[in-house]
Amino acid sequence: MEKILITGACGQIGTDLTFELRERYGNDNVVATDIKEPESEMKESGPFEFLDVMDAEKMHSLVKKYNITQIYHLAALLSGTAEKMPLKAWDINMQSLMNVLELGRTEKLNRIFWPSSIAVFGPSTPKQNTPQTCVMDPNTVYGISKLAGERWVQYYYEKYGVDTRSIRYPGLISYKAEPGGGTTDYAVEIFYEAIRKGEYTCFLKEDAALPMQFMPDAIKATIDLMEADSASLSVRSSYNVAGISFKPEEMVAEIKKHMPDLKVDYEPDFRQDIAESWPGSIDDTVAREDWSLKNEYDLERMTKVMLEEIGKKLK
């Protein structure tokens, strides 16, 4: 039986992923870790340990303590936060990855999952249907750290045989845990503000198209990739995953079908520049061919579920 350790388990991806993996592999086989206090449901449903991902020794001791065979390393600073503290973000995002990769090598872990991002692309990257392999010239600290990380995960696979797997996530939309410090966060924030106040000020322009994905699709994609036969995987840097692409104004129009009185205005800040450097849509043919990636949610279905679930939460 696989024994899994998740870093950043209280984050946006980690929260959904921890519960799904516990469901699948058994509660006791999924060790959630984070630097912050977890929600009671996470603490009560399985093992939880405090872990600062910069503390390689503690990470090592947890791998030993629980006989860990797989790590999902999710802890990181996102794009907006990283621009405010570039050196710290570089340090945390890179050093923590190196700590995990080294453990993969020395402890002969079966598998490592590490998230990359559409942030690896930059101004010279083809904007629409961005191919799996193309020019990548990220101009954000977060994007630079993700691109460097992609090279390192591939390096550990090729040189040391560590079975690393990765997805270039688009913006992720979910209702369990809120994202923090990202450029795509508007697409989650808007639901909370719409329900709480009936109005929202968007920090991107109305036509800033970005690729996004609903969390249930992202979680399924992640687990499917981790469970795929190693021989079928042709990419060991990170897989493009497209999800659904839309502009803020298109999401607003969709929410307005349910909340016609919603008022939205646009006050783009520094994150607009980041959004402009990223693709508007992604080509994920390689992922579809290698491990049968498939999304279930479109903008309409996702919006309906988000409104229902966040509505229940804020009641």
Position 11 contacts ligand SER (CB under 6 A)? no
Interface residue with ligand SER among 169, 186, 214, 297 (CB under 6 A) is 169
Please, which of residues 72-131 interact with ligand SER by CB under 6 A? Answer: 78-79, 117, 119
Between 15 and 79, CB nearer to ligand SER: 79
Between 53 and 78, CB nearer to ligand SER: 78
Between 18 and 183, CB nearer to ligand SER: 183
The distance of closest approach from Cβ of residue 61 to ligand SER in the complex, given in angstroms and rounded to an integer, is: 30
- The one-letter amino acid code at 91 reads D
The distance of closest approach from Cβ of residue 309 to ligand SER in the complex, given in angstroms and rounded to an integer, is: 19
Residues with catalytic annotation? Answer: 142
Binding mask 280-309 for ligand SER (x = CB under 6 A): ------------------------------
Position 244 contacts ligand SER (CB under 6 A)? no
Sign of the Cα pseudo-torsion (18, 5, 13, 115, in order): negative
Position 171 contacts ligand SER (CB under 6 A)? yes
H or E stretch covering 244: strand 244-246
- Strand order across the 210-214 sheet: 171-173, 210-214, 244-246
The Cα–Cα gap between 236 and 245 comes to 25
H or E stretch covering 278: none
Between 56 and 136, CB nearer to ligand SER: 136
Residue in 167, 144, 170 with CA at minimum distance from that of residue 282: 170
Between 7 and 29, CB nearer to ligand SER: 7
Interface residue with ligand SER among 93, 183, 213, 295 (CB under 6 A) is 183
- What separation in angstroms does the CA of 234 have from each of 8, 113, 132, 238, 286? 27, 16, 11, 10, 8
Q: Select the span of 20-28, 181-189, 243-251, 291-299 touching ligand SER (CB under 6 A).
A: 181-189
Long-range contact set of residues 255-258: C-beta below 8 Å, sequence gap at least 24: 255/190, 255/191, 255/194, 255/303, 255/307, 257/303, 258/303, 258/304, 258/307
Position 15 contacts ligand SER (CB under 6 A)? no
Residue number with the smallest Cβ distance to ligand SER:
182
The Cα–Cα gap between 152 and 71 comes to 16
The Cα–Cα gap between 274 and 71 comes to 30
| Residues in contact with ligand SER by the rule CB under 6 A | 78-79, 117, 119, 142, 169, 171, 182-184
